[in-house]
């Protein structure tokens, strides 16, 4: 399979599975930034929002201190401490503001 920029289409030889994301190269990846509102987290949030390409990533900011109902979601995604950025199945722990035990209080 290859992409033809001149025709803006993918050329596929069958039998191949066609991943829907390949058919639409403009599909954005979900990114979730979890934090607890501490100074380390706020600084990381400011920097992340500056450097993440918003044309590639749909970024959601989640303040776990204000949205405690999402703590289980963060832990299920693999977040061990905050601030953390979840990109697909990858968890990037940034600096160390608080452990999840501290976030739970």
- For residue 77, the model assigns a pLDDT of 96
Count of residues in the chain: 105
- The closest alpha carbon to 83, from 7, 21, 32, belongs to 32
Q: Residue 19: is its pLDDT beyond 80?
A: no
Its pTM stands at 0.73
Residue 3 falls inside a structural domain: no
Residue 11 falls inside a structural domain: no
Q: How far is 63 from 24, CA to CA, in rounded Å?
A: 31
The predicted-structure confidence for 46-91, as pLDDT tens digits, reads as follows 998 899 888 888 899 999 999 999 999 999 999 999 999 998 889 9
Residue 12 falls inside a structural domain: no
Give the chain's domain count. 1
Please, which residues bridge with residue 86 across strands? Answer: 32, 91
- For residue 56, the model assigns a pLDDT of 87
Q: What range defines the domain where residue 30 resides?
A: 23-104
Mean pLDDT in residue range 19-28? 60
Question: Radius of gyration of the chain from Cα atoms?
Answer: 18
Q: Which CATH number characterizes residue 83's domain?
A: 3.40.30.10
- The closest alpha carbon to 98, from 48, 39, 36, 43, belongs to 36
- For residue 68, the model assigns a pLDDT of 94
Q: Residue 99: is its pLDDT beyond 60?
A: yes
Residue 79 falls inside a structural domain: yes
Please state whether beta strands 81-87 and 29-35 pair in parallel, antiparallel, or not at all (unpaired). Answer: antiparallel
């Amino acid at each position: 399979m290859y992409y033809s920029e001149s025709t803006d289409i993918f050329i596929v030889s069958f039998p191949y599975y066609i991943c829907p994301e390949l058919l639409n190269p403009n599909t954005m990846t979900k990114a979730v930034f979890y934090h607890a509102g501490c100074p380390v987290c706020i600084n990381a949030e400011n920097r992340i929002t500056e450097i993440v390409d918003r044309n590639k990533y749909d970024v959601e900011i989640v303040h776990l201190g204000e949205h405690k109902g999402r703590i289980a979601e963060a832990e299920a995604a693999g977040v061990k401490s905050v601030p953390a950025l979840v990109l697909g199945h990858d968890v990037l722990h940034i600096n160390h503001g608080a452990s999840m035990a501290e976030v739970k209080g």
